[in-house]
C-alpha cells in the first residue's frame, strides 16, 4: 500500500474525514416493545436520550423517534417512506433499533406492537433511502441474525449480538447511548464521535460490564461496513472493516469533546453507570431471589437512577 493510501486509511479509521458542509444527517430511532415493566420504561427512555444527545450536538441534523404505540410496523414503514422523499444522495442516514429481537432459525424480527418487521423488511425500507452513506444499528437480542440480510455497499451495519442465538436482553444499547455523551468516546479528540468510535466504546464497556459482574458474556457486538455478511467484532485495517464507520459522525459538537463536561457531570455519569450495572445484575439474579425483595431493590435502584439523571440534566 502506498504512503498516500495508508494516510487515507488512517484518516478514515479515526473519523478525521468530515461530513460535507452541505450534507445533513437524518436520524430515525425506534424503541420496540418492552415486554416487562422495567423495559417498557427503559427502552423509550434510551430512545429519548439518543434523540436529546443528537439534537444537542448536531447543527444540521434531523431526528425522528418512534416508541410505544407509535412504533408499529405500519408507522415504521411510513416513517421510512417520508424520509425517502426528504433525504438526498449526499446526506447521511442513520437508524437505531432498541428493544427485543427474535430469531426462529429463518427470520430475524424486531418486536413491536402488532406484526413484527423482519430483517428483510428493514433492508427493503433502507434501500428506499437515497443517501449513499447509511447506518443501521440493531441494538436488540438476536440481532446478529439480521446482519447478513442488512449488509450492502455504502451501509454500516452494527448488531449488539454476533448471532440469532444470543437471546438475552443486551446492555450494549446503554453504552451506545453513553458514547454520545461521554467525552472519552471521542478518541481522536476532534470534537466528533463517529459510528466506529461509538461502537468501540460500547463494545469495551459491555465487555467490562460482564467481567466486573463475573458473568459469562451473552452478547458480542458485530460491525460490517464493507458489504461483508460476516462482520467483525474488532473492526480495523487488518480485516478491512471500520472505514465507513470511522467517517460517519454521530455527534459533532464543534469543539473538543473533552471540554464538554465538568468534573461534577463526569462523577454523576459514573454514578449513573454504576446504578445501571446494579439494576442489570439484579435482573440476572431475579430467578434466585424472593420476588418481594427483588421488587423492593429494583424500585429503590430505579428511583436512585431517576434522581441521578435529573441531576445530570440540570
Burial class (CB in 10 A: 0-12, 13-18, 19+), 84: middle
Task: Transcribe 298-311 into DSSP letters.
Answer: HHHHHHHHHHHHHH
Domain range list for the chain: 20-260, 261-314
Q: How confident is the model at residue 260 (pLDDT cuts 50, 70, 90)?
A: low
Evaluate if residue 6 carries a pLDDT over 90. Answer: no
pLDDT at 138 over 80: yes
Cα separation of 107 and 118, whole Å? 6
pLDDT at residue number 3:
42
Q: What is the pLDDT of residue 284?
A: 61
CA–CA dist 274, 305 (Å, integer): 9
pLDDT (0 to 100) of residue 12: 39
* Pairwise CA distance, residues 112 & 314, whole Å: 33
- Tens-place pLDDT, residues 179-197: 999 989 999 888 889 999 9
pLDDT, position 91 = 94
C-alpha to C-alpha distances, 289 to 232, 283, 284, 294, nearest whole angstrom: 37, 10, 10, 6
Question: Of 9-13, 58-62, 197-201, which range is least confident?
Answer: 9-13
Can you give the pLDDT at residue 22? 55
Taking 3-state DSSP, the helix, strand and coil percentages for the chain, each rounded to the nearest 5, stand at 50, 15, 35
What residues contact residue 192 under an 8 Å CB cut-off, 6+ apart?
15, 18, 186, 249, 250, 251, 252, 253, 257
pLDDT at 151 over 70: yes
Cα–Cα distance measured from residue 132 to residue 141, given in angstroms and rounded to the nearest whole number: 28
CA 66 to CA 91: how far, in whole Å?
21
Which is nearest to 87 in space by CA: 165, 25, 35? 25
pLDDT in tens, 289-314: 888 888 888 888 888 888 888 888 77
- CA–CA separation, 314 and 312 (whole Å): 6
Beta bridge partners of 94: 27, 135
Class of the CATH domain delimited by 20-260: alpha beta
Amino acid at each position: 500500500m502506498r504512503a498516500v493510501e495508508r494516510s487515507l486509511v488512517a484518516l478514515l479509521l479515526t473519523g478525521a474525514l468530515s461530513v460535507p458542509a452541505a450534507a445533513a444527517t437524518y436520524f430515525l430511532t425506534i424503541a420496540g416493545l418492552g415486554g416487562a415493566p422495567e423495559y417498557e420504561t427503559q427502552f423509550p427512555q434510551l430512545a429519548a436520550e439518543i434523540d436529546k444527545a443528537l439534537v444537542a450536538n448536531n447543527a444540521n441534523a434531523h431526528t425522528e423517534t418512534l416508541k410505544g404505540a407509535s412504533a408499529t410496523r405500519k408507522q415504521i414503514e411510513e416513517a421510512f417512506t417520508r424520509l425517502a422523499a426528504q433525504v438526498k444522495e449526499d446526506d447521511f442516514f442513520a437508524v437505531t433499533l432498541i428493544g427485543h429481537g427474535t430469531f426462529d432459525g429463518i427470520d430475524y424480527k424486531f418486536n413491536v406492537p402488532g406484526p413484527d418487521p423482519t430483517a428483510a423488511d428493514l433492508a427493503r425500507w433502507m434501500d428506499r433511502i437515497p443517501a449513499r452513506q447509511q447506518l443501521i444499528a440493531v441494538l436488540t437480542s438476536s440481532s446478529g441474525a439480521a446482519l447478513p440480510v442488512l449488509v450492502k455497499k455504502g451501509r454500516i451495519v452494527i448488531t449488539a449480538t454476533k448471532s440469532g442465538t444470543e437471546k438475552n436482553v443486551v446492555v450494549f444499547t446503554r453504552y451506545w447511548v453513553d458514547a454520545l455523551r461521554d467525552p472519552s468516546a471521542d478518541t481522536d479528540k476532534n470534537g466528533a464521535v463517529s459510528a466506529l468510535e461509538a461502537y468501540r466504546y460500547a463494545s469495551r464497556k459491555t465487555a467490562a460490564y460482564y467481567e466486573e459482574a463475573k458473568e459469562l458474556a451473552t452478547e458480542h457486538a458485530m460491525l460490517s461496513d464493507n458489504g461483508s455478511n460476516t462482520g467483525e467484532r474488532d473492526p480495523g485495517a487488518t480485516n478491512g472493516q471500520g472505514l465507513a464507520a470511522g467517517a460517519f459522525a454521530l455527534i459533532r459538537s464543534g469543539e473538543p469533546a473533552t471540554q464538554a463536561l465538568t468534573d461534577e457531570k463526569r462523577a454523576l455519569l459514573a454514578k449513573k453507570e454504576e446504578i445501571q450495572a446494579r439494576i442489570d445484575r439484579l435482573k440476572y439474579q431475579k430467578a434466585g431471589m424472593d420476588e418481594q425483595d427483588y421488587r423492593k431493590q429494583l424500585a429503590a435502584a430505579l428511583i436512585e437512577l431517576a434522581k441521578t439523571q435529573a441531576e445530570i440534566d440540570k
